[in-house]
C-alpha cells in the first residue's frame, strides 16, 4: 500500500501535473512551521510521521484554495503559537523579542557611564594614609621638594 | 566589596532562570484547546465497525478521551492506571485509536485489558490533528457541555490522576 502510494506520488511529481507554484508555496509554508515531534526542525526538514501528516494537511488546504494566513491559523488553533517556527510578536512574547535589545542598551549605558567616570577620575589614585606611612617608613619622610631624601640615614 | 554585588546579583538571577528552565519539559506544549469546545468528529467504532461515534453522544457527562495506539510504548505504561480508573467507575473513558491497524488494536486490548467504553478509530490521524495530538498517549478531560478542561500530554501517572484530574472531575461534577 505504502509502495503504491509512493509510486503514485512519484509519478504525480514527475508527470508535471504538480504546479511548481503550489509546490513552492507548500515548501515556504512548511518552513514557517515547527515539527512538534522533533522540535528544533521545521515541518519541511522533519521526517517524523506527524510532520508528513501535517504536510499532507498543507497540501490539501492549498488545493482547497485557502490563503497562507488561513492555513497558519488552522494549525495555530490546534497546536498553539509553538507550531510557528518564529514566535509571533505579541504581549506575551514582548520580552522575547525586545529583551536582547534592552540588554544591549543597558550594556551600552553601563559602558558609557564607566568610561566617563574613568576619564573624570585622577590618573593615579591618591595614596591612602596607610600607604603614605608605608612609603615614609621605607623611603624616609618626604623632603619639601617632594623627593624622598634618598634614605641616606 | 560593593562592586562585586551587582555581578553576583545578576549571576544569581541567571541561575534562577536556569533552575526553572531545567524543571520545564519542552515536550509539554500547552494546548490552545483547553477551555474550548472539543472538536466534533464522526468515526467508526473499533469493536463495531459498522457503527459510528460522535462526541456529542457524551453530552451531559464528564469523560476522558484517551488517544492510544498499539504501537505506542508509553501507552503500556499508562494502561494499568486507566484500567484501575475504569474499575473505580469515576467517569467513562473513551479511546481514540490513533493511526493503528484494527487487528493490532483489538489484539492489544485483548492482551492488556480494555478500560474503554468504546474506541473511535482515527486510522489516518486526521482527527488527531484537529485535537492537536503530536505524541501518543494524550488525554483530554471533557465536561458535560463538551468543553475540553484539561489535556494530559504523555502517560497519565497515578500522581497526575490523583492531584490534577480527579480533583478537576469532582469540581466539574458539582
How confident is the model at residue A1, as a pLDDT? 63
CA distance B168 to B165: 5
Give A-chain residues touching B41 at CB under 8 angstroms: none
Which stretch of A26-40, A85-99, A121-135, B20-34 has the lowest confidence by average pLDDT? A121-135
Give B-chain residues touching A58 at CB under 8 angstroms: none
Q: How far is A68 from chain B (nearest CA, A)?
A: 18
How confident is the model at residue B147, as a pLDDT? 95
- Interchain CB distance below 8 Å, B32 and A78: yes
User: Within an 8 Å CB–CB cutoff, is residue A82 touching chain B?
Assistant: yes
> ipTM of this model?
0.81
User: Within an 8 Å CB–CB cutoff, is residue A76 touching chain B?
Assistant: yes
Mean pLDDT of the region A142-153? 56
User: Within an 8 Å CB–CB cutoff, is residue A145 touching chain B?
Assistant: no
CA B171 to chain CA centroid, Å, is 19
Distances from the Cα of A85 to the Cα of A25, A58, A152, B33, B63, angstroms: 16, 15, 79, 20, 34
Give B157-173 pLDDT, tens digit per residue: 999 999 999 999 999 98
Q: Is the pLDDT of residue A22 over 70?
A: yes
Nearest chain B residue to A35, by CA = B134
Mean pLDDT of the region A53-74? 93
Q: Is the pLDDT of residue B85 over 90?
A: yes
How confident is the model at residue A4, as a pLDDT? 66
Residue of A49, A79, A107 to mutate for B, most B C-beta atoms under 10 A: A79
Residue B46's pLDDT band (cuts 50, 70, 90): very high
Average pLDDT of chain B?
93
User: Within an 8 Å CB–CB cutoff, is residue B129 touching chain A?
Assistant: yes
Provide φ and ψ at B156, rounded to 5°: -75, 120
Q: Is the dihedral of CA A43, A47, A49, A53 positive or negative?
A: positive
Q: Scan for cell 483547553, then name that residue.
A: B34
User: Within an 8 Å CB–CB cutoff, is residue A36 touching chain B?
Assistant: yes
CA distance A17 to A3: 20
- Interchain CB distance below 8 Å, B125 and A50: yes
Q: Which of A79, A5, A69 is nearest to A37 (CA)?
A: A79
Residue A39's pLDDT band (cuts 50, 70, 90): confident
- Record: fold of B33-173: Glutaredoxin (3.40.30)
How confident is the model at residue A28, as a pLDDT? 92
How confident is the model at residue B146, as a pLDDT? 94
Give B-chain residues touching A79 at CB under 8 angstroms: 29, 31-32, 132, 134
Q: Are B46 and B148 in contact (CB under 8 A)?
A: no
Q: Are B166 and B90 in contact (CB under 8 A)?
A: yes
Average pLDDT of chain A?
83
Cβ-based neighbour number of residue A115 at 10 Å: 10
CA distance A90 to A103: 19
How confident is the model at residue A76, as a pLDDT? 93
Q: Which residue in A57, A77, A79 is closest to B29 by CB distance?
A: A79
Distances from the Cα of A4 to the Cα of A1, A9, A17, angstroms: 5, 9, 18
Nearest chain B residue to A78, by CA = B132
Give A-chain residues touching B29 at CB under 8 angstroms: 36, 79-80, 82
Angle between helices A49-63 and A68-79 (to 10 degrees): 140
In chain B, what are the domain boundaries? 33-173
CA distance A46 to B37: 30
Q: Is the pLDDT of residue B5 over 80?
A: yes
User: Within an 8 Å CB–CB cutoff, is residue B32 touching chain A?
Assistant: yes
Amino acid at each position: 500500500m505504502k509502495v503504491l502510494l509512493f509510486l503514485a506520488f512519484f509519478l504525480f511529481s514527475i508527470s508535471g501535473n504538480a504546479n511548481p507554484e503550489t509546490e513552492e508555496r507548500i515548501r515556504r509554508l512548511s518552513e514557517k512551521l515547527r515539527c512538534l515531534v522533533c522540535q528544533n526542525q521545521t515541518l519541511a526538514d522533519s521526517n517524523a510521521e506527524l510532520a508528513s501528516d501535517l504536510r499532507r494537511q498543507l497540501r490539501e488546504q492549498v488545493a482547497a484554495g485557502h490563503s497562507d494566513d488561513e492555513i497558519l491559523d488552522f494549525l495555530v488553533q490546534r497546536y498553539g503559537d509553538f507550531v510557528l517556527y518564529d514566535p509571533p510578536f505579541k504581549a506575551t512574547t514582548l520580552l522575547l523579542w525586545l529583551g536582547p535589545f534592552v540588554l544591549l542598551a543597558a550594556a551600552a549605558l553601563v559602558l558609557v557611564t564607566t568610561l566617563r567616570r574613568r576619564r573624570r577620575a585622577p590618573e593615579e589614585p591618591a595614596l591612602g594614609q596607610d600607604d603614605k606611612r608605608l612609603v615614609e617608613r621605607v623611603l624616609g619622610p618626604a623632603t619639601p621638594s617632594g623627593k624622598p631624601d634618598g634614605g641616606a640615614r | 566589596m560593593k562592586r562585586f554585588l551587582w555581578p553576583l546579583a545578576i549571576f544569581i538571577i541567571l541561575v534562577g532562570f536556569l533552575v526553572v528552565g531545567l524543571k520545564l519539559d519542552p515536550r509539554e506544549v500547552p494546548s490552545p484547546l483547553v477551555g474550548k469546545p472539543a472538536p466534533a468528529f464522526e468515526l467508526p467504532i473499533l469493536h463495531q465497525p459498522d457503527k459510528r461515534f460522535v462526541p456529542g453522544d457524551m453530552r451531559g457527562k464528564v469523560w476522558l478521551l484517551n488517544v492510544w495506539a498499539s504501537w505506542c510504548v508509553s501507552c503500556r505504561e499508562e494502561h494499568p492506571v486507566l484500567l484501575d480508573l475504569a474499575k473505580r467507575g469515576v467517569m467513562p473513558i473513551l479511546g481514540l485509536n490513533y493511526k493503528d491497524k484494527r487487528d493490532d488494536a483489538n489484539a492489544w486490548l485483548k492482551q492488556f485489558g480494555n478500560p474503554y467504553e468504546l474506541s473511535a478509530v482515527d486510522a489516518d490521524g486526521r482527527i488527531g490533528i484537529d485535537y492537536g495530538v503530536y505524541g501518543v498517549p494524550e488525554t483530554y478531560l471533557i465536561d458535560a457541555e463538551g468543553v475540553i478542561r484539561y489535556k494530559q500530554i504523555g502517560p497519565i501517572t497515578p500522581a497526575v490522576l490523583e492531584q490534577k484530574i480527579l480533583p478537576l472531575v469532582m469540581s466539574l461534577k458539582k
